[in-house]
Amino acid sequence: MSAIDQLFQQRRAAGRKAFLPFLTAGDPDLEFTQAVVRELAQRGCDICELGIPYSDPIADGPVIQASYTRALEHHVQLDDILRHIQAITPTLAMPLVTMVTYSIIYRQGLDDYVSRAKAAGIAGAIVPDLPVEEAAPLATICRREDFSLIQLVTPTTPTERALRIADSSTGFLYYVTVTGITGERAALPPAIVDDVAKLRESTHLPICVGFGISRPEQVRLLAPVADGLIVGSAIVRRIAAAADRPRAEVLQDVGSYVSELIAALRAAE
């Protein structure tokens, strides 16, 4: 089993739900990315999603788009990211996964990307632009290497297609709450709880819910039907303040915010 499989097996046995923060690698720089990852682990996060900067948005809202742009302007490259992550993963109990466009994986070579990511201590990859019809080659490599391939299902995905996506995924299934882009929202679609509950009846794969989640009440709403909750833009927005504020303050702000959401998640279990 991959580290992601093991984590969810443990969480389910304990009746616990997972909290998954997202941040952009290299925004504002890779040293601060290391510091934020350590802070998130210390605050009790379960899995950290690390966005690999890319020039073309893939369902990314303005906050994450801007963070990718800043990282690319600083010439952050995949080799640099993996080297900095490899320096801290031996000390982390929290698995890391990359959020990465398939074009980067394809350009690196499927086997090469997986082997290099594993060597850096990364446990899987979320590939948002990989169609299920083209997922088999990467899925085969990931299963062989115990490296989780995490794919996305949206509210408009037909049931039959959602099940095909689940069958080719490992680790967990990423359920997108909205038919739109990432970003903080005051309210989530009313049907989201029923939609996730219905999908859970059709797959044994853990389901983690993301897009739009930023408030404790949203965490409490989704905790009963999800195996994990993903928060990205609200964290990335706080990290962006490192350009103007002391980094120690920003780190504390991010940590306190995440602790608030984790407390809401634990209360709803």
Catalytic residue list? 49, 60
Strand order across the 207-210 sheet: 148-150, 124-126, 96-99, 48-51, 18-24, 228-231, 207-210, 173-176, 152-153
CB 149 within 8 A of CB 171: yes
What is the amino acid identity at position 245? Answer: R
> What does the angle CA 20 – CA 268 – CA 7 come to, to the nearest 5 degrees?
40
- Angle CA 139–140–146, to nearest 5: 85
Q: In Å, what is the CA distance from 26 to each residue of 68, 151, 162?
A: 8, 24, 33
For residue 112, what are the CA distances in angstroms to 7, 108, 118? Answer: 25, 6, 10
150 pairs with which residues across the strands? Answer: 126
